[in-house]
Structure formats: C-alpha cells, structure tokens
A and B are shown apart, each in its own frame.
Chain A
Amino acid sequence: MEYTLDFKTYNDALKKNKLLGLKCSSCRTYTCPPKMTCQECAATNLEIVEMSGKGQIRTFTQTFVAPQGRECEAPYTIVLVELDEGPWVAGNLIDIDPDKINMDLIGKKVKLGHKVFPGDQYSAGAAARPLFSFLSEGVK
C-alpha cells in the first residue's frame, strides 16, 4: 500500500515553506507530520492538505550540548508547536534573544518558515525542519 504523503513529498514542500498534512475522511483529525494512517483512528482514507503553518508554542527547550557535527548550532531552541488544526510539530524558534527564553514562551503564537539540516553521515541526506518565528512583532 502506498503512502498518501511520504517523507520526500512532505520535505520538498517544507523547503518551499509549505507544511503538508493529512486530513482523515473518517474522523476529520489532522495528522502532521504525515504517517501511513490517521493518528487518531488508523484509517487510510486520507487527503493531503496544506496546513496554515500557524499555531502556539506548547513547550520548548534551549539546548547547549549538541550532537556531533551540530556543535556550531548551539545554543538553539527547540519548540513543540500546536498547529491551529490540532497536531503538534517539532521545529526550531528564531528571532529571540537567547537570554529571554523562559516559560513566557508557552502560548506564544508563531508562524512557519523552514531551515534545511544538511545531513550527516548517518542521516541518509538532508531534511528540512520547521523554523518558527513570532506571528506578531513586539513579543520578542
């Protein structure tokens, strides 16, 4: 059985700042990032949709100890964002003073961009990830 939306298609779209997800024709739940089946009811009658790319930060961490090959990125901030359509996606947060990363981030509205992780010897190539920034100015 073929994927309705596979990693390559998702990744190619994300590189154009389009976040693709799946909408379940049975239970209407959105699945993003994509999977073979609906993440709520395991149905396979799924439709590809473009997500709004907007949502709110639900949690975060500022990482100082990076994995091999990514030391130059640290410190960086990882966020889990609850998209307006419901699912949570992982990405990074930019446009913030590293000294101002605290619990006030939770609930802040953000919008989607992207950045490509060029890959390393273990990653089977590059992969884009969502890069979130604040939806409105003045909340930095």
Chain B
Amino acid sequence: MRRVAVLGAGHTKFMFDSPQTEIEMLAEASMDAIRESNLKSKDIQAIFCGNVLGDFSEGQGMVQSYLADDIGCFNVPASKFEGACASATMAIRDAFMWVASGFYDIVLAGGTEKATAMGTSLATRTFAMFGDSRYEYPAGFTFPGVFGMLAHLYSDQYKVPLKKLKEQMALVSVQSHYYGKDNPNAQFRKEITVEQVLKGFMVTSPLQLLDCCPFSDGAAAIVLASEDIAKKLVAKPVYIAGVGQASAGKISSQYKYLPRIRSREISVKQAYDMAGLGPRDIDVCELHDCFSIAGIIAAEGLGFAEFGKGGELWEKGETKIGGKIPINISGGLKSKGHPIGATGASQVYEIAHQLRGELKDQGRQVEGAKVGLVDTLGGDGTIINLILKVD
C-alpha cells in the first residue's frame, strides 16, 4: 500500500433549516475541496459519499450520482456509504483504501445531510431506524434512549454517583460550546453553563436537552490523493496514517461489554497498530459526542482514560487546548452540529486544519499538533477511526 494524503477540504456552515438542498450543500463543500487541492472536477476519478436520510428528508435517494453530475465529475463511479452517523467516515476509509491500493490516484469523499427538514418527530423516528427494528424499536427505543440507558449503566457499573456523573456530562457540553462559539461553521455559537445543562428539559433520563446534540443540515468534503501527487499540489499534505472499522449488533446483544463499546476498542486498535502509534501520541482528537455521556465513553474506549474515569478528563481541563488530550476543539457534534451523513468528513476537515496549523485566527489552534484522531459512531456500535498525521 502507498501513502495517501488529504489535500483540500470543504465545509458548509452547519445549521437548522438550511435553504439549500443536500446536493447543493455537498457540491459547495466539494468544489471548495477540489479548488483548495489545486485541481479541477475532471481530475476526480471516483466519489465516495456519506448520506443517510436523504429519502426521508427531501425525497432524494442516490445523492452521490447527482452530486457527481452537478459538480462536473461526469460519469465517474460514485458510491454511497450508509453507516448511520458514521457514514462519511466510512466513505473516507474506503476512499483511502482505493487510493492506497493504487487503483485510483485522486478521489473525492464527503457527506451531506438535511435532517432538520424532517422535524423532531419524524427525525426521532427515522434516527431510531439505526437501532434494531424488530427486537428493540417496539419498546420505544430512540437514539437518546440508548445513551440514557448507557449513562445509568455507567453510573451503576463504575460506582460514579449519578449526580456526579451528570455534572461531568454537563462539562462535556459546556466545553463543546466554549470552542464551538469560535468555529464559524458551528450551528451554535454561544457559551452555556453547567447550571443551564442541569435545568434543561428531560429528553430521556438522565439526558436533558443540552446533553444532546442537535439535528442539523450541512455537508463536508475532502480530496484524497497518493503521496506523490499530493506533494506536487499542496504545501502541507496531511497523511492518513491509520484506519480502523468495526461493527456490532443491537445494544442488548453487547451486554458482556457495556457500557464499553467493544467495536470501538477493536477499531481504534487497528488504527493505532497501522500507524504504529498509541493514545499518548495523539495531539488532538475529534470524537463522537452525540450525547454528553457518549463523549466520556468514547474517550475511555480510545485509551485516553481508565474505564469509569473519562469524566475526570473534562473536570480537570485535560480535554482543553493545553491539556493532556484536546478533544472536540471544533465544538464537537454538540455545538458544531451533527448532519449525520456529513459528520465524519467534518471531523476530518477539522483535524486537517489543526494539523496544518490554520486555526490560529479562530483562537482554536492546538499548537504544534502533528497527529490527530477521528472517532465516529454509527447506530449501536459501528465505529470508524482514522489517524491523520503531518510529517
């Protein structure tokens, strides 16, 4: 396999009620990525696209094909990847492998979503389709519901009193908003307090409104190319040093490991081993904080804290810039927003900018960051991890 680099990257503003279509959002992000790579549409040999609920949100399936045509990548192979909230990361991992193998030299990968068009009620229904429809949905499962159960299980298993855990969870959301306020692409650009989180209405116990990421519209895209091409086109290629992916069954069937997500531990080990790195080598991380408790569980699964102690990272400020492991300096899913088909590409966009040192103007630069980790969760346990690195 040969080395593969991220060249240009594009990102729309994440928002509620975007006036644009899913294809328009992804087309804008894609053209920005192509131009920043000093390429033209005709140079793209294949497209790898994340999109989850285009059919429900605007009656549009097969967005990848219309995207290709819209941006002038006429007749290139365009494939869609569906891994619920991890769809774009899944697309990027596959795009990476096709370039690493030598089959393609230059490809486009990204994702798009327009979830707010569904409204909360239908969106809650359709997001629940990524749990088990036959054996779990009949009991009224929702996505927040799964993480509400994980929070209670976490409290019981690790003997962290629920009141203390709730405060730790609140700090996850508070930090996300602290950094998200400085991210021009973020959906919410205002700070919140622990008191506000703990006063929010109950969505599904113990998760209150501000423990939950929003429904969002938006798109992000990146161009991937082989090392030799990348070096000719851009000043600072960001290499994909390791990738991992694992699947899992319905949440009840994962009972031997919960609240640990075993698929995450398997996936991130693949990525660490491939890169020849470990948790201590990661300078900055974007992880899947769809719910505050999910951020804590993810930090532990990725190796940044002992099991049952993830919340202490946020308590001690270790997750901030200057801390042991800066996490979600973009604002994370909570503040930046979570257009599910686009989220993984947005995470890669953020890490690429961190590693290129381009976030000083926004006041969110992790100084000297050379290695970044992406973690994305889809459904009950589809996990994809990517390790990015600059020389």
Chain A interface (Cβ within 8 Å of chain B)? 7, 11, 33, 35, 39, 58-71, 73, 76, 78, 80, 82, 87-92, 101, 103, 106, 116-117, 120, 122-123, 127-130
**A91 CA to B141 CA, complexed, in Å:** 9
A103 with B155, Cβ < 8 A, contacts A78-B145, A90-B136, A122-B129 known: yes
Partner of B255, one of A7, A88, A91: A88
Partner of B156, one of A11, A106, A122, A123: A106
Chain A residues, CB < 8 A from B153: 58-59, 80
* Interface pair A80/B121, CB less than 8 Å apart: no
* Interface pair A87/B255, CB less than 8 Å apart: yes
Partner of A64, one of B121, B134, B155, B202: B202
Say yes or no: is B38 at the interface (Cβ < 8 Å to chain A): no
A61 with B145, Cβ < 8 A, contacts A68-B124, A87-B255 known: yes
Number of A-B contacts (CB under 8 A): 121
Closest 6 CB pairs of A and B: A61-B148, A67-B125, A117-B138, A129-B138, A59-B153, A88-B255
How would residues 134 to 155 of chain B score, 1 for a CB under 8 Å from any chain A CB and 0 otherwise? 1111111110110011101101
A7 with B134, Cβ < 8 A, contacts A63-B142, A90-B139, A103-B162 known: yes
Nearest CB in chain A: distance from B370 CB, A: 40
The size class of the interface chain B forms with chain A is: 35 or more
* Interface pair A39/B253, CB less than 8 Å apart: yes
Chain B residues, CB < 8 A from A89: 135, 252
**A11 CA to B207 CA, complexed, in Å:** 31
Say yes or no: is B21 at the interface (Cβ < 8 Å to chain A): no
Chain B residues, CB < 8 A from A82: 255
* Interface pair B139/A129, CB less than 8 Å apart: yes
Chain B residues, CB < 8 A from A63: 140, 142, 144-145, 148, 203-205
* Interface pair B142/A67, CB less than 8 Å apart: yes
**A78 CA to B145 CA, complexed, in Å:** 8
Interface residue ranges of B322-361 to A (CB < 8 Å): none
Say yes or no: is B120 at the interface (Cβ < 8 Å to chain A): yes
Chain B residues, CB < 8 A from A58: 153, 156, 255
**A127 CA to B156 CA, complexed, in Å:** 31
